[in-house]
Structure 1
Amino acid sequence: MSYSLLQMSIESVSMGEMSVHILVTGVNGFVGAHLFRELTVRRTFDVAGTVRKITGGDTTFIDSGAIDINTNWSAAVTGKQVVIHCAARAHIIKDEVKDPLAEYRKVNVDGTLNLARQAVIAGVKRFIFISSVGVNGNINIHPFTEDGQPNPADLYAHSKWEAEQGLQQLACETEMELVVIRPPLVYGPDAPGNFGRLVRWVEKGLPLPLGAVHNKRSLVALDNLVDLIITCIDHPAAANQVFLAGDGEDLSTTELLRGVARAMGKPARLIPVPAGLLQFGATVLGKKAMAQRLLGSLQVDISKARELLGWNPPLTVEEGLKRCFETKKD
């Protein structure tokens, strides 16, 4: 087995000091918060986290301030072996800014590369970047793979792809190892975004015209994504690789809604309207993008993570959906 620089660094430390020193950015975000909690309960990790703004005199986290090309990360990266960069700008209201792509770039490209350069100076061995499957595209006929041609579907994904390219160049020029993880839709307790909307629709008991959708979409449970990230912290084969994340089970929108309803203990009020008619209606109403997310297919192939890392998603989709609502039921 070929060992990475990080693995050799860890194994050179005495058994009494085997903790891997980790920095997680964006620990007040959906993924970052769960990852931070999971890492703190594992004895083999010594973890610190950053947030954009400390409130109430909290000393648990490091205040990174606004993330851009000028952010000073020196206090956060000093003494760290691994940086896991979860922080990102994911949403911009286009009408409120003149150049939305430039706004995404400030955080997702310039801010990321600034952090990575300072990590190199601090001697960080591995940089794990949480990207997006949107780098591959937002619709497909055949499942995406890591070696497919990137085709960023929107400005957010475009900024993530630019960041990936910059990080890959930095990794080539330095000894810091890079791991890129591209998740599809992430679901879990109180998930934001599209999954949160689906949950609210089911929760309200609204009749939905989505009972005859036969697409296939890959998702990833929050716990599965966090497990993959943790696997990549010190796995020697993860060095300088890109991985797609997923549950390994693809669902249609109809199946997903039924699964959500079952997990919530509520009826799924789904009306079987033909997908073609829904697509036409959405186009007329100017909701083409929303229709694509609900009616189109987006599948990912996670064979690389399975074969190279020996990783398998610990939760099934059914188990992942149940965990979304366990706290609310208690």
Structure 2
Amino acid sequence: MRVLLTGGSGFVGKAVLERMAAMEGVDAVAALRRQPASLPVGVSVHLFDDLGSEAAWPKQGGPFDVVIHCASRVHVMNEVAADPLAEFRKVNVQATLAFARRAAAAGVRRFVFISSIKVNGEGTEPGRPYHAEDVPAPQDPYGISKREAEEQLRQLAVETGMELTIIRPVLVYGPGVKANFHNMMRWLDKQVPLPFGAINNRRSLVALDNLVDLIVTCCTHPGAANQVFLVSDGHDVSTTELLRQMARALGKAARLLPIPASLLVLGANLLGRRALSQRLCGSLQVDITPTCHRLGWTPPVTFEQALRKTAEHYLENKEK
């Protein structure tokens, strides 16, 4: 099986390449904008300047069976663009569709698109998880762009016969994770008191190893053709529970202050950090039962195993 993967220098894409390189009978090519410092042994590189250009598609080396499209303009915490939605559309919709059209023209059998749970929305009521068949309700430019890409990819699949698989991950964590997840580990490691000891929300997370396993499964499984899959560890936690277990994995005591979530939300809103308060205090759950049933798949790594692996990597690589 020949696989072309975009976004191979990213958190998810790099892990997929490492998995592919270890598989028998898989020839993986990474389509990248710049030469990476390192790649797994056996993975070749195709360099391009613009994902939407003709040069983004490799002309040498024969046909590809599967494309895994991880590349995107990701959610930007401190957006500076005058028109954020237009910027997201350039990469996540227009360039993605141009690349997918070239894939279809080249005879690619299946296009695996890594989307986002933000297509469903920003949050759920506890005990009422998102489902793949829910009406999309994205609320920010990133989520809107991913929804539009999904819609246009579906139309392309109908027109060309190329199979389409859409995967919508929740928050991904694992060794080398950055942003808020990394910051929480750093605060816990430094024994900083945190005001998150009384949050009773429910959040779905997905370990990097579990997401990669699902992506690889979707490359060949007959049941993955023209389907949308939500993915998580199948183990939802509150922010308070997450921090306690994270501290335990780090070998530290969690110093959590029982501040009511309502006060945290009020304070965050007054400071203009409403999105952050939603991520910390709000719920976002997904139902992966259909994913598991249709593919005969279960997350191979438990939440506890993945968290321990993530903490170990942090401790080995943290700044002294």
Shorter-chain TM-score range:
over 0.9
- Residues 81, 95 of structure 1: alpha-carbon distance in 2 compared, 3 angstrom cutoff: closer
Greater shift, 257-266 or 75-84, is seen at 75-84
Q: Is 2:173–2:207's contact at 8 Å kept on the other side of the alignment?
A: yes
Deviations 1:10-37 (A, max 9, x none): xxxxxxxxxx111111110000000100
Instruction: Give TM-score, length-normalised by structure 2.
Output: 0.92
> Is the 2:122–2:284 Cα contact (8 Å) retained in structure 1?
yes
Name the SS for the 1:250 alignment partner. Answer: coil
* Residue among 101, 105, 118 paired with 2:102: 118
**1:28 pairs with 2:12:** no
CA contact 1:71–1:114 (8 Å) conserved in 2: no
Q: Which residue of 2 aligns with 1:130?
A: 114
Which of 45, 53, 61 pairs up with 2:34? Answer: 53
Aligned-pair Cα RMSD in Å: 1.9
What is the aligned partner in structure 1 of residue 25 from structure 2? 44
SS at match of 2:59: helix
8 Å CA contact retained: 2:92, 2:149 = yes
Deviation (angstroms), 1:286: 1.6
Output the CA distance in 1 between the equivalents of 2:106 and 2:142: 29
TM-score by length of 1: 0.89
1:260 partner SS: helix
Unaligned runs of 5+ in 1: 1-19
Corresponding position: 1:152 with 2:152: no
1:86 maps to 70
Write out per-residue CA displacement over residues 73-124 of structure 1, whole angstroms, 9 at most, x where no aligned residue: 1437951000000011104476632211111111110111111000011100
Judged with a 3 Å threshold, the aligned counterparts in structure 2 of structure 1 residues 302 and 33 are, in CA distance, closer, same or farther, namely same
- For 1:145 and 1:45, the matched residues in 2 are separated by 32
Question: Quick check: 1:204 aligned with 2:190?
Answer: yes
How far apart in 2 are the matches of 1:74 and 1:118?
10
| Separation in 2, partners of 1:298, 1:62 | 37
**CA distance in 1: counterparts of 2:100 and 2:196, whole angstroms:** 44
Q: 1:275 aligns with which of 240, 261, 267?
A: 261
CA apart distance, 1:288? 1.3
Bigger shift: 77-86 or 40-49? 77-86
In 1, the alpha carbon distance for the partners of 2:158 and 2:132 equals 19
The alpha-carbon distance between structure 1 residues 106 and 91, as it changes in their structure 2 partners (threshold 3 A), is same
How do residues 236-275 of structure 1 correspond to structure 2 at under 5 angstroms?
236-275=222-261
Question: Per-residue deviation at 1:153?
Answer: 2.2
User: 1:196 Cα shift?
Assistant: 2.1
Give the C-alpha shift of residue 69 in structure 1.
5.3
The whole-number CA distance in structure 1 between the counterparts of 2:134 and 2:20 is 32
1:324 aligns with 2:305: no
Percent of aligned positions that are identical: 50
The Cα shift of 1:204 comes to: 2.5
Cα displacement (A) at 1:67: 2.4
Per-residue CA shift, 1:167-217, capped at 9, x if unaligned?
000001112100000000000011123322222222232100000100000
Q: Which runs of 5+ in 2 are unaligned?
A: none
User: Residue 294 of structure 1 aligns to a residue in which SS?
Assistant: helix
Contact persistence 1:62–1:76 (CA under 8 A) = no
* Partner Cα distance (1:57, 1:310) in 2: 34
Q: CA deviation at 1:327?
A: 3.6
How many aligned positions are there?
311
Q: Quick check: 2:111–2:165 contact (8 Å CA) kept in 1?
A: yes
Partner amino acid for 1:157?
A: G
SS across alignment from 1:279:
helix
Aligned 8 A contact 2:69 2:113 in 1 = yes
- What secondary structure does 1:286 align onto? coil
**Structure 1 residue 166 corresponds to structure 2 residue 147:** no
Moved more, 209-218 or 190-199: 190-199
